Structure 1
């Protein structure tokens, strides 16, 4: 806490200030209706009576004068000093005499250090410092309060609520919520937490819709279940519940908050929700999944459906009714059956294959396409010619997501700015090479080498690797001569895992074992079922993926599957599980909806605890998904550690330098013979 200076002549100073303030009060024509007697003509007991009478009558100008005068009386009972200082400070503050209030408070604290333990002292002090615009002192005092564990909790709790409102009133919404969360985390008992929850509910209820919305926009997804964020989110739902078109979405969000909020007293939320349900009814969500359930991709579709079924069951336990229809995209005419579903099935998950997605719009007149009447969230990395966020949406990683994670690792985490691309001469390879170039440039990455190879002519692969590494034409004749170091430290290989197992040994043949090898998510998926005979080639290989069974979300999903006897989790199961919960929060779209309606709902719907890597959408409805980064190992893959990877690269470079040094030493010895 800020230190207080002792004021030896404080009583006379306080009275002088009070008298001057009173003179100004009369001069401005603001004299109170109650008469003010001369303090000098009153004996101390009578002055005490007059001060208390003025105080109770809310005649604060007179109260301020009388209490300041009492401090000059040597015969004043010392036991009354706390009351005198308290009421003097409060009266002065109410009269707008903030310096007078500050002096009174500091004098009180100097007289009795325990004064600061009182809520009345703290709150008046905080109000006074705010009125004096002492922002730095307030921030220092906040730090002291958060560390002053010996201070009574009731006082600290009141101060925490004050700071929350102070920051909010200044437009510092994130700080407001963070400060409240910090105090709440220190509450000694559940009863103390309930008191704070009740007080903050009342604060939120008193705010207008605009203020509640401003606070709700400052809620990070990871904190949505915690105090005070959960109360803000719920109150925002209360304000939006009157909109019939959005009621189903609002209801699901409020139901989740009421069911999962990590606060002590959730009963008030349940009561409010029950009242709203009685008024507006219980919504039912219609959702369609367009998946291959037979044919070559049938197993994948069944896995997605297994995850979706688990999510449907879990939501039903939370009173969220999802009416799910499944359309098999391998059966002819599936797109017609999808189009003929009742309008309540306004959200569609899938399809999974590009050709199936094209069937939803190719050769169909505008206005009659499924895309025109339903919000389609595809399980594809790209929408092709369709405009993402306007005509359809993605619930899947893009190639940009994959490449962005790799370039960020190389440039930002490992400091490798000189890069190369070795890509197959076909559509996927060329597209990924271009994407790598686009993602690396903003980070400061430089493409030092760009080499293609014929995907089916394996005999050419070694020669093309040699060309990328600038291997001399006479290399085969002088194998003892060290090759020049490549002018790049990492190479991107946008091809499948089977091809990578042939490509990487070629780099080692040309002494490229110190390079960082970056692969696409195709590697990650293949490694889920791969066995590697020789890990030597893959120690510096990295590939991205949106699923990691060891993540918190992955473990939670596996726990839910195990509990229901539904087998093992993987990416496709996670995809179905996450999508259905996301769509459940998105809700049934209103009649006449447009893309802006969907994009507005996505922000709230995406606040789920993802089991796979989280997906986020920008305001235009364009999705991006975080990626985990893996290295291949004998039994599949493991999550990388950037520091360990940097150390391995350094050791590989050191080995190459050692070989070069040994060669140069032999050359020197040969010259001296």
Structure 2
């Protein structure tokens, strides 16, 4: 890297604010006996100089002058390779009342500790000196001690902190390229946790911080961690090192990662294993939309309905394909697994899970399907708008049925209605006479069916046989004893239900996000194109896939071509004309409008406004 030249340039700019040079007045005008000792040392009489220093120390105990003598005696010993005997002199001199003497003693003590094979202790000793400025010779000693100790140390964080201070306050290092190399090695010794801490502690833009930012950016790109990609790349972009080709390339990689490829969208669906039929329908809807739209390439990964496989699949979409968004997966458990990866990478995820907890998986997670509560809210609201107020549920005694009973009770109360105790029956029941009679014994006349269409086809005629009829308009049949009003969520509906039990379901309200017989122009096109391509009518999940792809494609065409821009636009209500009821998202990242409610009239469904 070209960081050496940059480091020197930064140091030149800092020269005007460098700290005052470490120097004691005593050093300039020492006592005569210390001057004599210096002269002896200069002439090569090491023994005579040592005796002179020692005599002065004995004769002037506890004085600053004695501290200066100890310092110079220690330096004399270290210069001739006798650090072992010099260390006690430095250790005493470091406590001197003369600040300059104390600092110089620390410097030479650290240098001796390094010579004696203790780089960790040497770094700890010189750490307080990183912000000081010594004479040219001693500044070089400080740099040499720091560099050599850093090359040998296991305490990389301490060494980087020392370099940070030296670069900020000192002069240019004697060997800038060696410093660069040592800093690179030190950063690689750090754990990621240590690196993250140093990112906040080191000076932004300085060489150690640049190296730390590069390490964090590489790791964040490998782990697809968008938050750290942003932080590290922003730090590099703001530094002088941005002109370094290696830094420039890393920042470019970060931008590519954060933005994603606006021409590629991922599909995360169960194409094998449990849920494969739903996954196949959604995929066919998406593929048809891609043909219609001519939009982004659709790259598909199979989750097999398994959370662990989902994690691997979504990471491949994000890391290898750089998708700008992910459509899917299906189900709450696989959505949670996928969201863990898309959240780190900042990728919008449009989930085909109906769970109300879907969006809690992350700020970029959108729920494309209606929840059970959404459908019940719509049904109860339409019934209340017609003046109906007394509600009861007939449900199978299993997980789905019990969930619907609990939610229905809540929604009726929220709408100001009266709720009669629900009537449960064993799953798989074929004769409903006793259960229907129990319902009719209540004072409630609005009945929610919480079972599949095949069961509804048995239940509705049973009400009529007991004299309770649902009608659309006009008078009750002559043999009818009372009127009832039926509510059906989407799970209770099928295209065959009208032919099997339509006579007994007239006037029933149905919450249906997608009505396959809709006469809307787009719906007719979708139905015709789907039947032509796949040889059968589209189902609700096919329609969901069709609209999900079209919504992403339309939002990208509006200029929202990065992951963040796409996410923000979807949160802000960017929409499309749909074949389902989902045309856009609310700020809570759920469908912006309730599911369409229809009324059974003759052999068709009529929209209820």
Q: What interval of TM-score do these two structures reach, taking the shorter chain for normalisation?
A: 0.3 to 0.5
Larger Rg: 2
TM-score (structure 2 length as normaliser): 0.47
